[in-house]
């Protein structure tokens, strides 16, 4: 396997695990982990906590990295097979 493939696969794996974890950290109806951690740090204008906004940003970053790494894998190996050389 080429070093580029190994690097892209590692980035893909880390972004996939991070994406799963940060999606699970989001609150469903105000009873999630982010509300427990946030305590009294709420924004009065939007009604969402600062922690929830940061979780949104981090989740979006992990999603973008995940999609970009998948697109790179598609460009490197368009047929979906990795052949050992």
pLDDT in tens, 46-79: 556 787 888 889 999 999 999 999 999 888 877 7
Closest by Cα among 71, 51, 55, 49 to 19: 55
pLDDT in tens, 8-49: 999 999 999 999 999 888 766 555 566 666 655 554 445 567
Domain parsing of the chain, residue ranges? 3-76
The rounded distance, in Å, linking the Cα atoms of 19 and 68 is: 13
Reported pTM: 0.69
Angstrom CA distances, 41 to 12, 49, 52, 63, 81, stand at: 33, 6, 10, 26, 49
In this structure, are residues 49 and 41 in contact, taking their beta carbons and an 8 Å threshold?
yes
């Amino acid at each position: 396997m080429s070093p580029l493939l190994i690097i892209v696969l590692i980035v893909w794996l880390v972004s996939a695990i991070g994406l799963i974890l940060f999606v699970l950290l989001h609150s469903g109806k105000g009873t999630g982990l982010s509300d427990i951690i946030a305590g009294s740090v709420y924004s009065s204008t939007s009604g969402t906590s600062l922690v929830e906004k940061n979780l949104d940003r981090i989740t979006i970053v992990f999603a973008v990295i995940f999609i970009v790494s998948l697109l790179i894998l598609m460009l490197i190996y368009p047929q979906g097979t990795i052949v050992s050389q």
